[in-house]
């Protein structure tokens, strides 16, 4: 198998894709749905805010291994952050995932496992789908967001 594929489907991604963390519904929380009309992937992100802090965050829906791993890793990364810090992380994640292959990436902890997606431009939207939904869910208005 090619090195690019090995990087894309590394153990962390496969693990989070197969056994996603925080894959559940938060009743009474805010939520927003991320939907990719071209491929039909659908990820709903739920957040529970206390004042400005993300007390709890989860997701549910259907998607590929990349979308689910990205959603799972995202929930782990943003729990406990303020809304502003979460938004800043969304931006940093987008910068990483759209940077040219080989370019240096910011320190993003476990999220760096998703950097391999950069070599697969058609799959970037899979990785960003839950992040679009997170931004919408932490925003005042809950709605469906699209990657297209």
Partner 1 sequence: MADDSRRVRDLERPFDVTAIRRDFPILEQRVHGKPLVYLDNAATTHKPQAVLETVRRYYVEDNANVRRGVHALGERATNAYAAARETVRRFLNAPDPDEVVFVRGATEGINLVAQTYGRAHVGAGDEILLSEMEHHSNIVPWQILAGEKGARVRAIPITDAGEMRLDEYERLLNGRTRIVAVTHVSNVLGTVNPVAEIVRIAKSRGIPVLIDGAQAVAHMPVDVQALGCDFYTFSGHKIFGPTGAGVLYGRRALLEAMPVYQGGGGMIGQVTFERTTYAQLPNKFEAGTPNIAGAIGLAAALDYVTAIGLDRIASYERELLAHGTETMAQVPGLRLTGTARSKAAILSFVLGDVHPHDIGTILDRAGVAIRAGHHCCQPLMARLGVSATARASLALYNTRDEIDALVGALRDVRKVFA
Shortest separation between residue 69's beta carbon and partner 1, angstroms? 10
CA pair distance 97, 92, nearest whole angstrom? 9
Binding partner 1 (rule: CB under 8 A), the pick from 126, 129, 136, 142 is 126
The residues that bridge with 56 in the sheet, in sequence order, are 48
Residue closer to partner 1, measured from CB, 51 or 122:
122
Count interface residues toward partner 1 (CB under 8 A).
22
Of the ranges 5-13, 74-82, 95-103, 136-144, which one interacts with partner 1 (CB under 8 A)?
5-13
Interhelix angle 83-98/124-138, rounded to 10 degrees, is 170
- Sign for the CA dihedral angle at 17, 67, 21, 79 comes to positive
Residue closer to partner 1, measured from CB, 59 or 89:
59
| Under 8 Å between Cβ of 17 and 118 | no
Shortest separation between residue 56's beta carbon and partner 1, angstroms? 26
Instruction: Spell out the alpha helix ranges (H) of the chain.
Output: 3-8, 11-18, 65-78, 83-98, 124-138
Say how many residues make up the chain.
Answer: 148
Examine residue 49 and tell whether it contacts partner 1 (CB under 8 A): no
Of the ranges 7-15, 26-34, 90-98, 103-111, which one interacts with partner 1 (CB under 8 A)?
7-15
Task: State the residues that interact with partner 1 by CB under 8 A.
Answer: 1-2, 4-5, 8-9, 14, 18, 38-42, 62-66, 120, 122-123, 126
């Amino acid at each position: 198998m090619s090195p690019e594929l090995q990087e894309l489907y590394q153990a962390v991604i496969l693990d989070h894709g197969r056994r996603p963390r925080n894959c559940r519904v938060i009743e009474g929380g805010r939520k927003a749905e991320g939907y990719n009309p071209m491929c039909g992937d659908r990820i709903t992100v739920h957040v529970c805010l206390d004042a400005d802090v993300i007390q709890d965050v989860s997701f549910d829906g259907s998607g590929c291994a990349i979308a689910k791993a990205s959603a799972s890793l995202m929930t782990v990364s943003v729990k406990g952050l303020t809304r502003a810090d979460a938004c800043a992380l969304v931006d940093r994640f987008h910068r990483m995932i759209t940077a040219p292959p080989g370019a240096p990436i910011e320190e993003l902890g476990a999220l760096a496992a998703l950097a391999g997606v950069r070599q697969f431009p058609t799959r970037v939207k899979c990785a960003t789908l839950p992040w679009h939904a997170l931004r919408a869910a932490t925003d005042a208005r809950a709605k469906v967001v699209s990657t297209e």
